[in-house]
Chains A and B, each alone.
Chain A
């Protein structure tokens, strides 16, 4: 369990991270970013769960032996990264800035 807490601390303190939600297979929120309200966490959870399931379906339709690792949804204002395995769904919301021009 402390591995999990350590990882969460690391995610929490990474610059740009403005939210995270971790839920189990049943869709129960296990952890959320301290400043996120339960309603916000729930909205992200519901939306991302469906999207991750659909993305997973696309991956498996193309190759039944393949599996989704994660999904990155970049928006104008922020980026949402969703990782899913059998037991958990992890959603991290972060701000993004354009890369330096080479």
Chain B
């Protein structure tokens, strides 16, 4: 992984509230993560599947459109997914409580 990628991962990880950053390839395999292997593997598979489904739903509703970003907000955290042609960038963050 290039230095620029490492740099970006570190930058995102250092934002307040960020729990973890993952990069997953088109097969759903995590190729870089700031979380433990176990947690990474759980998130990677589930999120890759969900993103694939979301992407296909978007195209079913409008075949000229495409998924650019996905945000899943739960009671405890928020998962942000930026899909690219070959990779998924996933950031998991805790909610800020003012």
Contacts and interface: CB of A to CB of B under 8 A. Distances in A.
Interface string A21-57: 0000000000000000000000110011011001101
Contact of B57 (A51, A57, A58, A63): A51
Give the size range of A's interface with the partner.
20 to 34
**Chain B residues touching A, majority SS:** mixed
B17 interface: no
B21 to A, nearest CB: 16
B10 interface: no
A43 B74 CA distance: 25
A58 B62 contact: no
Contacts of B79: 58
Given A43-B61, A58-B50, A62-B46, A73 B70 contact: yes
A14 interface: no
A5 B53 CA distance: 32
Interface of B: 42-43, 46-47, 49-50, 53-54, 57-58, 60-62, 64-77, 79
